[in-house]
Structure 1
């Protein structure tokens, strides 16, 4: 079990490559479709079905007849826009293959944060008593306790990976895309449901559902009182985090919500002291919600 955090960190580094894709594609203004091209030169970003020659900066390959490529793709002829992208899949770097312009967060930022989050969860999710085979007091063992521990860790791991993407997107463009919050909720809820079935923890599952509703209702009330200070994306994220926190317990739910407000408040005060923001300045609150939730989870697991 001592190698579990190391394995989780490796998984996090690999998952971070795909998380970077989510960050880059969804860091766009409200109402715009996910980004598919480099914002600097228009070269299509790596992705499924884009292996080989794609639009970009560079000369047309030797021997290529004019209009041959665009005729096959249905795109207008553009002799000066041809290039081979090196890899169709996760973004291999933080810079465009066509113009070398920076795309998204700094190199390894997303990958390292994802790795650290998964390693921390793996380190704290399985307590010493469970590693030795003992059953935690107050937690039914169920028919498959070891598998249940794995699915519980997978639920929080899934939430961590998607939450990292949400944090970077919110920090970049001050929005929390519905696609990501829905993916976070469905994956977390499904894996916690499997855990409840395997370990007989239906009381925890019921509390998780109530926790998601309660935290979402609280944030919705804040949104209705002051729409300028809270967005609907925060309300939806609250449902996700409330579900994960509620599974761990009511005290964890309260602590996670409280820590999120404390972190956001301290950040806002720091900005005002440094004169980089005013009392009415908008700040992305999603990162502080996630930070507070995971701080509470890591101390509760």
Structure 2
């Protein structure tokens, strides 16, 4: 990639990351923690204003609520959401993805994986805060992800096999997590199952070995974190730790640093 193109793309991604971070920061507080009673079948609450509790208008087709992407406040109390400061590190994340992946990826591929980074960062913070992977954020990203990777296939030569591998990875990883949930529902959240297909899609773009490596790292990171908390006396075997952030972290690690599996098998 020519230096001037790289510089322009770096600046563009930094700006995109900053704007996405600002928007994501306004969305994160809309989700509250949900700890249902055993006989509660109502499901988690919809996104609501953290000040007055009014449900936020969120079209089913929209990955994010249009009203809160700007600087508008709640339509009832008109108060604005004060968000976590995610803008700087989300901008840095997008630039980091460019630095690690620009060698063998086209511009359309970088755009697709940047969208994945934005989405993954948003879900990581939400799940860490409220132990939820909301359908509004997970399911609405499926068509976006498929469209972006489909566009990358159409505009980049010799990527048809990558798309096939990505689709196989999506189906395979979703099935794997569904089996884990079916065997032991208490140890695996249904939100993790729904999100697994998206991780498999982007990991599978790099090969099915990447899907295996990203999944292994997710469990490794989660176990390491849990054992560390237990060693520090801040958790026990019954402490609930959200698994979604580790799933996303494992995927990011393989996508940015590469799949370590071929090296281990040599």
State the TM-score, normalized to the length of structure 1. Answer: 0.70
Residues 27 and 169 in structure 1, CA contact (< 8 A), matched pair in contact too: no
Aligned residues: 235
Deviation digits for residues 46-104 of structure 1 (CA, Å, limit 9, x no counterpart): 74899699755xxxxxxxxxxxxxxxxxxxxxxxxxxx75x7xxx5x43xxxxxxxxxx
Deviation digits for residues 260-301 of structure 1 (CA, Å, limit 9, x no counterpart): 111101011011111222112221001011011001000239
CA distance in 2, matches of 1:255, 1:207: 15
Shift of 1:246: 0.2
CA distance in 1, matches of 2:252, 2:68: 31
Does the C-alpha gap of structure 1 residues 196 and 172 become closer, same or farther in structure 2, counting only changes over 3 Å?
same
CA distance in 2, matches of 1:35, 1:55: 11
Residues 159 and 187 in structure 1, CA contact (< 8 A), matched pair in contact too: no
Secondary structure in 2 matching 1:248 = coil
CA distance in 2, matches of 1:204, 1:244: 10
Which of 78, 89, 111 aligns to 2:87? It is 111
1:178 aligned residue? 135
1:35 aligns with 2:40: no
Residues 192 and 243 in structure 2, CA contact (< 8 A), matched pair in contact too: yes
Q: Please, which moves more after superposition, 110-119 or 26-35? A: 26-35
Q: Which protein shows a greater Rg?
A: 1
Does the C-alpha gap of structure 1 residues 159 and 53 become closer, same or farther in structure 2, counting only changes over 3 Å?
closer
CA distance in 1, matches of 2:170, 2:14: 28
1:139-154 paired onto structure 2 within 5 Å: 149-154=106-111
2:19 aligned residue? 14
CA distance in 1, matches of 2:12, 2:126: 26
CA distance in 2, matches of 1:15, 1:49: 11
Does the C-alpha gap of structure 1 residues 51 and 268 become closer, same or farther in structure 2, counting only changes over 3 Å?
closer
CA distance in 2, matches of 1:180, 1:255: 25
Shift of 1:227: 0.9
Which of 1, 6, 9 aligns to 1:4? It is 9
1:202-213 paired onto structure 2 within 5 Å: 202-213=160-171
Gaps of 5+ in 2: 1-5, 35-42, 57-66, 260-266
Shift of 1:221: 1.3
Q: Please, which moves more after superposition, 3-12 or 238-247? A: 3-12
CA distance in 2, matches of 1:293, 1:151: 19
Residues 158 and 184 in structure 1, CA contact (< 8 A), matched pair in contact too: no
1:214-233 paired onto structure 2 within 5 Å: 214-233=172-191
Which of 246, 250, 253 aligns to 1:295? It is 253
Superposition RMSD in Å: 2.7
State the TM-score, normalized to the length of structure 2. Answer: 0.79
Gaps of 5+ in 1: 57-83, 95-104, 131-147
CA distance in 2, matches of 1:25, 1:171: 14
